[in-house]
Structure 1
Amino acid sequence: MSDTTEDSPMAASQNAHGLSHPALKGIALIAFDLDGTLIDSVPDLAHAIDLMLEDEGLSALGEARVRDFVGNGSRVLVERALEAHGRKIDDIDMVERTHHAFLAHYAADPSSRTRLYPGVRECLDGLCRAGVSLVLITNKPEAFIEPLLAHFSLAEHFVLALGGDSLSTCKPDPAPLLFAAERLGVSPNQALMVGDSRHDIAAGKAAGFRTLAVPYGYNHGDPISASQPDYLVESLDALVAVH
């Protein structure tokens, strides 16, 4: 597949809709992270973690503490919560039990406290109108993706959604990104990875995608600029604004 040029149908479509942000030049596929990029899910995740800890007779950690634990999938989130209480995560039976409990608590209510970040809907709507293919690549278990997208009426925006357990590896491994590009017949150099954490940027770079980051998400307290994304925007609606 050849590179998209300014005169191509896709570029013309982007220009017609005002999608002149330099990150989008020649881009046919955009992969979005979910937690910390499109949605702030920490309030619901923290609630489920605290219920899991209560099951174990442990004190709640609260939203602010759990916020720094998010980004590497549900099992790592649970392990970090247990480690915060001094529990040894080499106790496999304990980790399995608590992980299962966390998933059950989260499944019971994954969205009532979760919110879309400002500019997200405007961004996704604009990109879809411009004909850009959108995929979702998250480390969240696949079972939670559909309920969350349905809750926010976003399912129709994505042609493919991959969770942390959809393939044998997840971000920062580039495999999910390469899988999506191959599935949609798009060369990696015509794809953009959008995320909030170093794992998103590392996966994008390893896959040969262009990378764009937002600074408001979950990156374990570190500035996302340190991961050297190709682009950084304060809000995702910058991608569909007229420049």
Structure 2
Amino acid sequence: MKRASIQAAIVDLDGTMVDTLGDFAAALNGMLADLALPAIAPSTILPMVGKGSENLINLVLKHALAQTVPAQAAINTAALFDHALARYQHHYGAINGQFSAVYPGVVEGLQTMQQRGWKLACVTNKPVALAQALLQAKGLDGFFRQVYGGDSFERKKPYPLPLFKACEALGSQPAHTLVVGDSSNDAQAARAAGCPVLLVTYGYNHGEPVSGVDADGLLDSLAAI
């Protein structure tokens, strides 16, 4: 990847710019309490994050139900899903940003990208309304020309569609648009779209070491970009 050829950047949100694990834990445990199911620890939630709310809810329900009625977990998960998702969205909307923090170096990294003249978009699998509210709450919204969430299109990362749409909105070609993320989701989407990709080492990546992911480089801090 040649930095001089980069004209724009697409930046992930959870695990890349903001540590939102506390928000996930608060919202999910509120949901579980509403369903009279046992609470879940943040360390158990971490590897479940990154593929959208629907996947997260399914995994959490399966985990919670396995603690109570293992033989019926699959059936109960399907039966509870719609109500669980509604309760999760209720709780997340109420606490969005309260138990999260911007990672060190993020503001400096975004400022550096802007100073280079790069056009910026945020593409996340979080629902777009929650993503926009979180960026605003953390003072990061002003950096981005466009914000897309997991419900913005019919496909979310690791599919390349959101990246193609972001490139179109930014007026940049994929080969000249850097993707910055924290997981294999981001890297797979970038590779499929033809974008160069850098991954941060401090994020979630479904609980796996990010060093094993096919990327063009790793960043210990976004400020190092």
Using the size of structure 2 for normalisation, the TM-score is 0.93
Deviations 1:149-190 (A, max 9, x none): 111111110001000000110000000001111222211110
**Map of 2:27 onto structure 1:** 48
Instruction: Report the residue type matching 1:37 in the other structure.
Output: T
User: What does residue range 121-136 of structure 1 map to in structure 2 within 5 Å?
Assistant: 121-136=107-122
Would you say 1:36 and 2:26 are equivalent positions?
no
3-state SS of 1:113 partner: coil
Instruction: Report the residue type matching 2:126 in the other structure.
Output: K
**Map of 1:177 onto structure 2:** 163
Distance 1:128 1:226, change over 3 A: same
Tell me how far apart the structure 1 counterparts of residues 76 and 28 of structure 2 sit (CA, whole Å). Answer: 19
Query: Which runs of no fewer than 5 residues in structure 1 stay unpaired?
Result: 1-21
Would you say 1:168 and 2:147 are equivalent positions?
no
**Structure 1 segments of 4+ aligned residues over 4 angstroms from their partners:** none
Tell me how far apart the structure 2 counterparts of residues 194 and 122 of structure 1 sit (CA, whole Å). Answer: 14
Deviation at 1:224, TM superposition (A): 1.3
Tell me how far apart the structure 1 counterparts of residues 75 and 102 of structure 2 sit (CA, whole Å). Answer: 33
3-state SS of 2:40 partner: coil
The percent identity for this pair of structures is 37
Distance 1:75 1:113, change over 3 A: same
Q: Note if contact 1:47-1:62 (Cα within 8 Å) is conserved in structure 2.
A: no
Using the size of structure 1 for normalisation, the TM-score is 0.86
**Map of 1:157 onto structure 2:** 143
Deviation at 1:24, TM superposition (A): 2.6
Q: Note if contact 2:58-2:77 (Cα within 8 Å) is conserved in structure 1.
A: no
Tell me how far apart the structure 1 counterparts of residues 140 and 21 of structure 2 sit (CA, whole Å). Answer: 19
3-state SS of 1:220 partner: helix
Would you say 1:189 and 2:175 are equivalent positions?
yes
Q: Note if contact 1:120-1:236 (Cα within 8 Å) is conserved in structure 2.
A: yes
Tell me how far apart the structure 2 counterparts of residues 140 and 29 of structure 1 sit (CA, whole Å). Answer: 21
Tell me how far apart the structure 1 counterparts of residues 99 and 199 of structure 2 sit (CA, whole Å). Answer: 24
Deviation at 1:89, TM superposition (A): 6.2
Deviation at 1:64, TM superposition (A): 1.5
- Count of residue correspondences: 218
Deviations 1:110-169 (A, max 9, x none): 111100011001111221122210100000001101211111111110001000000110
When Rg is computed on C-alpha atoms for both structures, the one with the higher figure is 1
Deviation at 1:93, TM superposition (A): 3.9
Structure with more of its chain in helix, by fraction: 2
Query: Which runs of no fewer than 5 residues in structure 2 stay unpaired?
Result: 67-72
3-state SS of 1:136 partner: strand
Q: Note if contact 1:83-1:89 (Cα within 8 Å) is conserved in structure 2.
A: no
**Map of 1:11 onto structure 2:** none
From 43, 67, 82, the equivalent of 1:96 is 82
**Map of 2:40 onto structure 1:** 61
From 96, 105, 108, the equivalent of 2:94 is 108
From 175, 184, 190, the equivalent of 1:204 is 190
Deviations 1:49-77 (A, max 9, x none): 01111111111112111112110111111
Q: Note if contact 2:47-2:208 (Cα within 8 Å) is conserved in structure 1.
A: no
